[in-house]
Amino acid sequence: MPITDYLIRNAEMYPNDVCLVEINPINENEKPHTWSENALVEGDRGVSYRREMTWEDFNRKSNRFANLLLSRGIKKNDKVGILLMNCLEWLPIYFGVLKTGAIAVPMNYRFDADEIKYCVDLAEVDVLIFGPEFTGRIEAVAHKLKRVKYMFYVGEDVPSFAESYEKYIAFCTSKEPGINIQDDDYGAIYFSSGTTGFPKAILHKHLSLVCAAETEQNHHGQTKEDVFLCIPPLYHTGAKMHWFGSLITGGKAVILKGIKPKMILDAVSREHCSIVWLLVPWAQDILDKIDSGEIVLSDYELDQWRLMHIGAQPVPPSLIKRWKEVFPHHQYDTNYGLSESIGPGCVHLGVENIHKVGAIGVPGYKWEVKIMDGGRQVEKGEVGELCVKGRGVMECYYNDPKSTEEVLKDGWLYTGDMAMMDSDGFIYLVDRKKDVIITGGENLYPVQIEDFLRAYDKLKDVAVIGIPDERLGEIAAAILEVKEGFTCTEEEINEFCLGLPRYKRPRKIIFAPVLRNATGKIEKPKLREIYGGGQSLVEAQLK
């Protein structure tokens, strides 16, 4: 069954149950400009706007947008770009697109005007729907978007080059569009994170979306009673595919527009959230605020919170050890995936395997895994390229057959991640193939050095990159972000690094912010550009 059938089922079975809540913690005198209906929530920990939606409302609004698109001639395999910040409108719009048989094209809210144009052109977008945060960027390139037939605007003060989303869906029927959609129909195009250059357009079928929902629910055991707190951006496969666990069970989810520790704990407390997906920096920030006394856990209702899971990046074992000391009753899981494998879950640790923290885990539900070195499958304990196979593997890179051939081989997705499997069958990420540092003929894997440095208690975040060196080709440079209120010296770090083999010790120490994208991944190309003069030696060799 296509993913849209779950929404129809929920609207029939749980019409009056709240399915989505949006919380926007803001200053008292501010008002979110996309909200025509809002409720001000005041409490001891600040002021926020809160909106909610039932499953019946969700389905009705999806149908109205679907029927609006159909009335404009949109048909199967046309593409509808979605450029919105996280908001209550996001998911009904996404499902409205899917119900027409068209392909939903979520777009990164950090894209600048040129990147928007590039992605719209690459995915051959026919309709673009956007919010007020993007008006200036869209206006700068609107005259160049020749293929785009219609632009819809979500919010007040509609710009002259777009039409009002709210105005037109108000006049559309809320009846089911009745378009026949099969698992093998194309459903969505997602863009790669762009950490290696301009993004690639990743085409998925409805089968992939259903795979993500079933995988998530199998891994984390969601029930109708669970409440999922969603913080990361919905344009990315990570957040949305974790939310699919709520969709498949008919549970409630909370969209939080804020990442500060007090905002997160306040949302968990007020909305009785039981499942929270965090990125590493957010989890670290929460623990730091608890350690400093700025957050007192007894001020919050947290007994219902049963699962904290992390994805999108390697997780320091020291962080989870600290977390379990503070939250001993929490289950913990980490999830590995790529947009090419429909997001998290092709490999996961499993809540029963916390003794293996540091590993990304074992093959996910109905996924296969192998580790390859050229044409040879490596033995346990050897490093090679991680490959995955399952129903969630992408169809192709849209309009890019050369790149598709490089990563799809006999149904296997070659991830570009270097990994090894231990004697128990657990997989450990070593690094990205393009991030390997070759220094004096030795291969250095930055993730291993980063994990070591993160154990130093004065450091908030760490990134290790290769920078050019005349004698050794490359050397390892550590970019270190120090915790607020602490000072740290190069001598301290060098002394701490005596615990590493000599060839793995960073040759250069840089105290600076660690740049991460919206999904939590370290932006190493940008760091290399700032501190190293461009691409790594391995990147140059792979081109």
Write the DSSP string, 25-79.
Answer: E--TT---TT-SS-EEEEETTEEEEEEEEEHHHHHHHHHHHHHHHHHTT--TT-E
pLDDT in tens, 243-293: 999 999 999 999 999 889 999 999 999 999 999 999 887 898 899 999 999
* Other C-beta atoms lying within 10 Å of the C-beta of residue 61: 21
Cα separation, 191 vs 199, in Å, equals 6
Smallest CA-to-CA distance from 227 within 320, 301, 321 is with 301
Q: Whole domain around residue 453: which residue ranges?
A: 436-542
Quick one: which of 231, 65, 232, 208 has its CA closest to 150?
65
- Spans of the chain, pLDDT less than 70: 26-48, 193-197, 312-314, 431-433, 440-442, 470-473, 518-519, 533-543
C-alpha span between 445 and 431 (Å, rounded): 6
Contact between 23 and 256 (Cβ < 8 Å):
yes
User: For the chain, what percent of residues have pLDDT higher than 70?
Assistant: 90
User: What digits encode the pLDDT tens for the residues 323-361?
Assistant: 999 999 999 999 999 899 998 899 999 999 999 988 999
Tally of domains in the chain:
1
- Kindly state whether residue 135 falls inside one of the protein's structural domains: no
Task: From 396, 459, 483, 522, select the one nearest 122 (Cα to Cα).
Answer: 396
- Checking 524-527 for CB contacts under 8 A at 24+ apart, the result is 524/195, 524/432, 524/435, 524/446, 524/463, 524/465, 525/195, 525/196, 525/197, 527/463, 527/465, 527/479
Residue 531: inside a domain, yes or no? yes
pTM here is 0.82
Angle at 238 (CA atoms; ends 483, 215), nearest 5 degrees: 130
Note whether residue 454 is domain-resident.
Answer: yes
pLDDT of 121 reads 96
Sequence-distant (6+) residues with CB within 8 A of 72 are 127, 149, 150
We report the CATH number of the domain holding residue 482 as 3.30.300.30
Contacts of 74 (CB under 8 A, 6+ apart): 80, 100, 102, 126, 127
> Residue 472 domain-assigned?
yes
Buried b (16+ CB within 10 A) or exposed e, 4-38: bebbbbbbeebeeebbbbbbbbbeeeeebebbeee
Fill in the amino acid letter for 270.
R
Within-domain flag for 513: yes
**Secondary structure string (H, E, C) spanning 281-315:** HHHHHHHHHHHHCCCCHHHCCCCCCCEEEEECCCC
Q: Could you give the count of Cα atoms lying within 13 Å of 428 in the half-sphere of its Cβ?
A: 20
The one-letter code for the residue type at 25 is P
CA 118, 123, 128, 132 torsion-angle sign: negative
Strand locations in 231-365, DSSP E? 252-256, 275-278, 307-311, 331-338, 343-348, 362-363
**Contacts (Cβ under 8 Å, ≥6 apart) of 159:** 135, 138, 139, 153
Run of H or E including 20: strand 18-25
**Given its phi and psi angles, is residue 368 left (phi above 0), alpha (psi -120 to 50 degrees) or beta?**
beta
- pLDDT tens column, 49-90: 899 999 999 999 999 999 999 999 999 999 999 999 999 999
* pLDDT tens string 308-319: 998 766 677 888
Is 536 a member of any domain? yes
What pLDDT score was predicted for residue 542?
38
The answer to the question of residue 46 being in a domain is no
Domain assignment present for residue 81? The answer is no
Contact, 527 vs 463, CB < 8 A?
yes
